[in-house]
Structure 1
């Protein structure tokens, strides 16, 4: 519920924020979010909880929605998504985003992208490849972009050749 209220607030405030944003500022913000996505990919690949802590907002309202459920709060995201699933299930991970689109409107931003995830199962060493589509929502906190919400699902689109 809190994440829905947060998203509704972001959408409601976007026109007011956009009025004062320059093209140069918007390009800088878009570049910053692209860098945040690169750090996110690195955090997934390495299960680096310190990096994860730098990427995500520490607000109790952060959330992560995925095919196995949903997590609320950074502690739950770290424990369930990164330690239990990424670190616990897989001995190696390689997240490859593609077709990344970033949008910024004032102090709110979002990205959408497709990804391929290659991994090795810890239990038996078998290779796994999955594909997904992901949306991420960001807020600018104290002048720095922070991730506040991730939602991903299975990708049914063919991979472009």
Structure 2
């Protein structure tokens, strides 16, 4: 499998983990380093455990009873043999937990990936609306 194919597969797994919110799957996507970061529309989360708990569970799961994330127009830039940048437009289809109302957002997402022991991992995610 090429680096591009492995990276696309990682993005697909990330999208699935956002939907299922499975802790083991979500954490397996990240480098596991203190430098792992996520920038959401309003906050910065540091460390894979904080990204999982504070972003995915405390923020996303509390707000939505269901979330489906879709990537559009994905591009991948291999910086070197251990670093890549992924950029894609995204949109979501969500159900608000409080009201049951359907909603969604769209925006851009950037991911910085590191290749560790032959496997691509997330180091940084930044999404905007």
Q: TM-score, normalised by structure 1?
A: 0.77
Q: CA deviation at 1:126?
A: 1.0
User: Max radius of gyration: which structure?
Assistant: 1
Q: Superposed, which structure 2 residues align to 1:49-68 within 5 Å? A: 49-68=23-42
Q: CA deviation at 1:48?
A: 1.3
Match of 1:135 in 2: 110
Stretches of 4+ moved more than 6 A in 1? none
- Structure 2, unmatched stretches of 5+, are none
The answer to whether the 8 A contact 1:47-1:86 is kept is no
Q: Give the aligned CA root-mean-square deviation in angstroms.
A: 1.0
Count of aligned pairs between the two proteins = 128
The answer to whether the 8 A contact 1:118-1:128 is kept is yes
Match of 1:87 in 2: 61
3-state SS of the aligned residue for 1:135? strand
Q: CA deviation at 1:79?
A: 0.8
Counterpart of 1:102 (choices 73, 76, 80) is: 76
Higher helix share: 1
Q: TM-score, normalised by structure 2?
A: 0.95
Q: CA deviation at 1:147?
A: 0.3
